[in-house]
Chains A and B, each alone.
Chain A
Amino acid sequence: QKEVEQDPGPLSVPEGAIVSLNCTYSNSAFQYFMWYRQYSRKGPELLMYTYSSGNKEDGRFTAQVDKSSKYISLFIRDSQPSDSATYLCAMPSGGGADGLTFGKGTHLIIQP
């Protein structure tokens, strides 16, 4: 079983819709959870990170963690065509500077 599972999509929604992106993980030692956005042929951009369970909001983006279910989500409100990108969840592989374990990434398309 892979440590981080993420549906690769594509996920296509109309402009203005609320988008829900999700990942599940198997390693209960994971404590930090990140979401990266990657536009085509660009490097990943850190969107949000959370620690422990609960919600964290930043503008139109909300990150949610449910440690009991090993499930994390990223919600995008009032989605825009410029949000079309691949969204990757990521978790530190270990303690200290150990690199990140990424999900496969979900390709999101916002239709104008």
Chain B
Amino acid sequence: KNEVEQSPQNLTAQEGEFITINCSYSVGISALHWLQQHPGGGIVSLFMLSSGKKKHGRLIATINIQEKHSSLHITASHPRDSAVYICAVDRGSTLGRLYFGRGTQLTVWP
């Protein structure tokens, strides 16, 4: 069983919809990362968080340490948000090694 599970695996939305992607993990962590992988393959770090909530533009990431769960929200989704969103955890004891979820493929239609 993977240490990091994401849902849904695939997500299709209409432009303007509110999007939620979920990430659950089964190990102790020092931080959780949300990454975006573009259709061309490049990877961008969106958030790193260890508690609470962070916001950047239309993106919001939350984490509940007690429940070992994080969510990534996209408000007013746009076709350019279409990408794979990846959750990854840093277990702290493993010196920065990240454990990745399988990713959520998001497609936003105009």
A binds B: no
